[in-house]
Every structure is written in C-alpha cells, then in structure tokens.
Amino acid sequence: LSADPGSLVPVCIAIINIYDQYGAEEHEDPVRTYGFSILPVPSTHRRFVSLVPENVKKRTGYNGRISREDGPSFLHSYRIFYEVFQFRKLGIASFQDFLTRHEARLPMFYGYILTDGVSMNFVFARIPPPSRIELYAPDFNNSRDIIGRRMNTIGLDPGRRDIITTASGIGDATYATRQVSTIEYQAISGAAKRSQYLEIQKATTFITNDDGAVSTMENLKSTLPTLKTASTDEMRQSIQTHLSYLNHASTFYGIDQSRRRFKAYQGTQRTIATTANIVLNGGKKFDRNRRNKEQTKRNRKHRRNKTKKRRRNATRRQELIKAQYYAVAGQISQLRQQMDLVDGAIMALEQVNAFDTSGFLEGMRNQRISMDETHQQQVIEEQRLQYNYLFELGGSTIKGRKKDRHGSNHTTTTTVPLVAFGAGMMGTDQSHIHGYPVGSTNIIRRHLLERQRRALCVVAHTNEYLTSQICHVCETRMPNTVLDCREVYALKSCDHCAKIVNRDKNAASNMYRIMESGLAGLGRPLSLSRS
C-alpha cells in the first residue's frame, strides 16, 4: 500500500461500496463496519514549517554575526544552527563535538528543524539502536548468593483496567502494593481535561454560515458530510462543504490548539516516566512528602491540622536537641581548654625533672587520662545529638505506625529494583477491548527496559500462568467472587483463607513469589507450574 497506493484504489472502492450497501439495508442484528476515506483528509491544525540556514536567522530574530566556516558548505550551515540555538542544553559542549558525535556513536544533528510557532522539533540522524537485552525469570535461578541484597524484588502484573499492579511481598505481612488504573494514567497526562476543554470550546464557539444562520462548531462538525464513501457526487459535495468552512476551522485550530498539542506531548512523556517511578520507588503517588496537598480531597482539614500538630512537636524536639547539642559543645570546648592547660603543666613538670614533683606529675597524668575519657564520651554524645537533629530536620511527618505501609519505604539508594514483569500482555497491542486503552503496558515495559540499559533497574519477564487464580498465601485455586448472584471478574474468593482478594494484586504477589523462589534455587512453585 505504501509503495503503490494507486493500484489498490479499485479494491478500496469495492470494499466501501459493500459497506454502503450494507448500511442502507435493515438488519435485525447489524454488524458494525469501520469505514475509511479513499482520499487523504488534510488536517486543519497549524502546519510545521522547516527552518533552514537561509531563513533561520530571520525567523528567530537572531542579530549576531556568524563568521564563514572554511570547508564544505554544510559546515557553514551547521555553524549557523550552532550559533543561533543553544545546543549545550542537548549535551553538545562545543562546535567540534557538534561535528564529531558520530565517532562516539551519538545521535548526529541532521541540519533540519521543524516548528509550528509553539514547539520545535530538532531532527537527529538515526543510529543503530542498542541491542535490547530481555531477561526472563529462569535466568535468575539460584543467583541469591550473587545478587545478595543488592536488588529489591518487585512483582508486577500488567493489565487493561489497571495499567500496572505491583507487590513487594506475599502473605499477611506488611509490604507495599501499588496500582495505576487507566483513569489515573489518563489523569496524569491531562488528556481528559484537555478533551473536556476542547468539547466546551466547540460548544461555545459560534460560526455564521453562508446563509446567515448561526451554529456552534460542534454542530458544524457533526453535520459535515462524510468522506468515507465511494459515491463521486457525495465525495464532491463533502469536499466543497469542507472547503467552505476551512477558514473557520483554521481559526478554531489556531495557536492555542498548537499549545495544547504540545502539552499533550509533554503529558504523554510525563505519564510514562511517572508510572515507571511508581513501579520502582513509589513515585509521587505513594510519597506523601511530594504529594500536592492542595489536591487531596478527603479529610483535608483534619489531616492538615494533625500534620501541623506533628510539625509543631517536631519543631519542639528540634529545639530541645539543639539546646542539648550547644550545651555539650560548650562543655567540650571548656574541657579542651582545661586539657590544654593540663598538657602545658605536664610538659613544664617534665622539664623540671625534680624528685619532689614526681607524685604531682603522676596525678596530673591520671587527670589527663580521665579527661580524655570524658572528652570521648562528650564527642560521642555530640555526634548522637547532631544525628538526631538532622534526622528530625529531614524526617517525614507521617505517623510511625504508617511508615511500614508506606509505598516507598523499602526502596533505598543501595538496591536496584528487580521487576518480575508479567509477560501476559506482550504482543497484545492489536487486541482491542472496549473502554480500555491498547498498548500502555508495553510502553511502560519498553521504558523500564530503557532504564535497565542505564543500570537503574532490572526487568525479568515472568510467565503469568495461573498467577491470578492461585492464592499467594495457601496456594489453592480460587473461583470468582459471587455478589448478588453475579460473578465479579476482578475479585477472587479464597475459601481456605476465608477472604476476598483483588485479582491483580494476587497476581503481582505470585510474580514476587516466583522470582524469590527462583533466586533461592527452588525453581518455579509447583502450584504455578504447568506440569
């Protein structure tokens, strides 16, 4: 189709004719058909124009003088781009580095920039991608002695309703569990708010038609004839109608819409990175210190008052520790002065070397030893008070009994997250489920693999066989929970444990169990094996 689209136009017309005939007839149980347009449908958004060395100075308003670069003409073009834009922010330190990045197999600037007046796209030459190493759970069998405590195991179950569900433990013990639902995933990117704002703008933007009638942009777009047809007359009428309203559409999708598109791109990047942070260390969602307190809705006033009370108590403890620290520091200073005097007296008595002063000299030496012991104790006390003060100063205001259940409690800077990533969603980007996005889990997986290449985590793909159906505590098979004579797919009921568990969280805990069992050299648990 890409090589010779014209040869397939008759086939596309025949398919659309069948769709048109089927849609004109009445059926008891109609099948939904997905039409398409034969002709390309141009966008009404602002176009991207290219910035070349001939027009980049005029379009950017650069008034500096650029000296002519000796050598081929492309060197002078690169010099213009390098002087106009700050490539240092892209990691290019000098013009020589600008020209020799390919020698270090780094992306090379292509000499091509696109802009729509809001954002700018710097085009870099594509280099061969690094080999992506995909590890699997059996690769870590019997490696506990090698890994030791350098890695922190996390079980991850991907899904559609919940993009990711993680667990860092099993059983009834206290461990962190984290989830990012589809709604949260879209809320982080801001796509829902932008879509809502766009619909409001369509409903409140009024346009005067050629016949003098006034209608909203929403009504106009809903009444435009479709281009998804094979009828020549309908297609011609549709094109004429679209051209008659082209000015209104171009005005509506102006500079403001370009800004929203750029924010949508930023939101997509932010969503992927935030979700990966939630997987690895709890991220902003599970960190109360980084959470936006103004956006919390439940028990806001009560929580704020209790937080203020804990902060007041923390401030009082800080002041008390500070006063004790200054008192001990003053005692150490006085003791050091006395030690200096005693050292001077001992040195003077040793120089006299008289027989009648030997007893007095021995007493001075014993006093010096006692002062040394006191000094060491006071220094230890000073260090303890200093540590306590810094701990109180940088400590969290979370209650002590809640810290064990905190999302990022077990994450330290000395351990690398070992993510047991469920492989059930791999290769399912084309499987559509109504109401849920497609491909989000694989996007997160690729981002984690990119972080693995930078030695920030390790991803071990894990077979999901029976992980959501076997109880992670008693290892018995669980049926779906029945509520009001209806089975609930998202919940499982364990008769042996007498409790109802979340299907995804149970699967994540089983992922954790599979990885820990493999690290210990026991292989995959028998309850989760096919044999």
C-alpha distances (whole Å) from 518 to each of 133, 142, 422 are 19, 6, 15
Instruction: Give me the residue spans of the domains in the chain.
Output: 55-125, 135-175+410-528, 300-397
For residue range 235-270, what is the model confidence (pLDDT) as tens digits?
Answer: 888 888 888 888 888 888 888 888 888 888 888 888
Output the pLDDT for position 389: 76
pLDDT at 412 over 50: no
CA dihedral sign, ordered 517, 521, 523, 525: negative
Which of 228-242, 346-360, 381-395 has the weakest average pLDDT?
A: 346-360
pLDDT at 101 over 50: yes
Output the pLDDT for position 410: 44
Place of tokens 């299907």: 503
Output the pLDDT for position 294: 55
Output the pLDDT for position 405: 45
Distance CA 510, CA 470 (A): 8
What CATH fold (topology level) applies to the domain 135-175+410-528? Nucleotidyltransferase; domain 5 (3.30.420)
For residue range 153-188, what is the model confidence (pLDDT) as tens digits?
Answer: 899 998 878 888 999 888 877 788 888 888 888 888
> Quick one: which H or E segment has residue 355?
none
DSSP labels, 58-92: HHHT-----PPPSSSHHHHHHHHHHHHS-GGGGT-
Torsion from C-alpha of 398, 399, 402, 407, nearest 10 degrees: 10
Output the pLDDT for position 249: 82
Q: With contact defined as beta carbons under 8 Å apart, do 389 and 322 qualify?
A: yes
pTM of the predicted structure, to 2 decimals? 0.66
Name which residue leads in pLDDT, 6 or 525: 525
For residue range 32-52, what is the model confidence (pLDDT) as tens digits?
Answer: 887 888 877 777 788 888 888
Output the pLDDT for position 409: 42
Largest CA distance in the chain: 129
pLDDT at 344 over 80: yes
Output the pLDDT for position 288: 60
For residue range 102-161, what is the model confidence (pLDDT) as tens digits?
Answer: 777 777 787 788 888 888 888 888 777 667 778 888 888 877 777 767 788 899 998 878
pLDDT at 93 over 80: no
pLDDT at 309 over 80: yes
Output the pLDDT for position 356: 61
Output the pLDDT for position 411: 43
pLDDT band at 400 (very low <50, low <70, confident <90, very high): low
pLDDT band at 407 (very low <50, low <70, confident <90, very high): very low
Output the pLDDT for position 393: 65
| Pairing of the two strands 135-136 and 151-158 | unpaired
Which of 24-28, 92-96, 365-369, 431-435 has the weakest average pLDDT?
A: 431-435
Long-range contacts of 361-367 (CB under 8 A, 24+ apart): 367/342
Output the pLDDT for position 295: 55
Output the pLDDT for position 485: 84
Q: Which SS3 state, helix, strand or coil, does residue 147 take?
A: helix
> Quick one: which H or E segment has residue 376?
helix 358-394
Place of tokens 């019997």: 142
For residue range 482-493, what is the model confidence (pLDDT) as tens digits?
Answer: 888 888 888 888
Check residue 500 and report its DSSP letter.
E
Instruction: Spell 116-153 as b/e; 16+ CB within 10 A means b.
Output: beeeeebeeeeeeeeeeeeeebeebeeeeeeeeeebbb
> Residue 320 CA to chain centroid, in angstroms?
40
Pair of tokens at residue 11: 């086939």
Distance CA 198, CA 191 (A): 10
Name which residue leads in pLDDT, 442 or 66: 442
